[in-house]
Amino acid sequence: MSDLPRIAVLYGGPSGEREVSIDSGRAVLQALQGLGLDAVGIDIQPAILQQQVTDSKAHIVFNVCHGAVGEDGLLQACLETLDMPYTGSGVLASALAMDKWRCKQLWRAAGLPVTDGILLRRGENAPDLGARFGWPLYIKPNHGGSSLGVSKVTGPAELDAALQSAFAIEDEVLCEGAVIGHEATVGILDGHALPPIVIETPRAFYDYTAKYLADDTRYLLPSGLGATLDQQLQRLALKAFAELGGRDWGRVDFMISGDGQAHLLEVNSVPGMTSHSLVPMAAKAIGMGFPELCNAILRTAQRRVKHG
């Protein structure tokens, strides 16, 4: 048996990423139980979350709640008030990672390369985005993940519909100029960067369908970028994660231009954790199976368990 006490695996919740989170939660729960650990699953309800955690009689939390509440600092703050150790980044880093605009402002101030963008607020007059960025450009909700509400806009005729789609989700919307090249991602585990993965899709961009539904999305691992650029991405991912105050594990996404320049897109502080998700894929490339990965993430939180 393990030396770990009871583990509560938190998943689900109210966000648009609920179904993905449920898949992640089930996979993690099965892996931990398969290791002989005393793990229970909780589909979180924010209004009674503290009671749910208390009733579980858990001593440590493995958080795989994606999106609002689970990934934006709210769940983390709730667990802090319970003095409950949990996997992943703390309150501030989680909130910053979820806020694409303010995260990039921090990175820019630290001298890190980011994609060019502006923040649009509901009710404000938008500037001439085509003149500002050229075409194509991207419109996306400032918070959230799984590419929900994100549009690639190839010309003026598509702009209004893209803005309506993003503003239907929230009051702050990010407009970014397109970087033409490769999309790549780097997983982070316990202070180490995993091998980069390059993502290719025949769709307009790596949207929700390409991530979770399509069978023609390609994941290149090895990335095909070459050892020098791979190592540059790993160093940049670790620095970007550290600037936010991230801890334990996460994933940093990039766009790489045709001349090999990397541009930071965003951080995922609670990445997908199904057997086919990107962090498990990268871990497998270094010989770490899914149960071993789950256990390694759990151990990072165990170090914060207070003794005595």
* Residues acting as catalytic residues: 17, 146, 212, 251, 253, 266, 268, 272
Of 245, 257, 271, residue with least CA distance to 187: 271
Report, in angstroms and rounded to the nearest whole number, the Rg of the chain calculated over CA atoms: 19
Report CA-CA distances (Å) from 298 to 26, 179, 244, 264, 304: 15, 36, 21, 27, 11
Dist CA 157 CA 130 (whole Å):
11
Side-chain-side CA neighbours of residue 156 (13 Å): 5
Exposure string of 32-62, with b = 16+ CB inside 10 Å and e = fewer, is: bbeeebebebbebebeebeebbeebebebbb
Contact assessment for residue 271 and residue 250, using Cβ atoms and an 8 Å cutoff? yes
What single letter denotes the amino acid at residue 290?
F
Degrees to nearest 5, angle at CA 279 with 227 and 58: 145
Contact assessment for residue 282 and residue 199, using Cβ atoms and an 8 Å cutoff? no
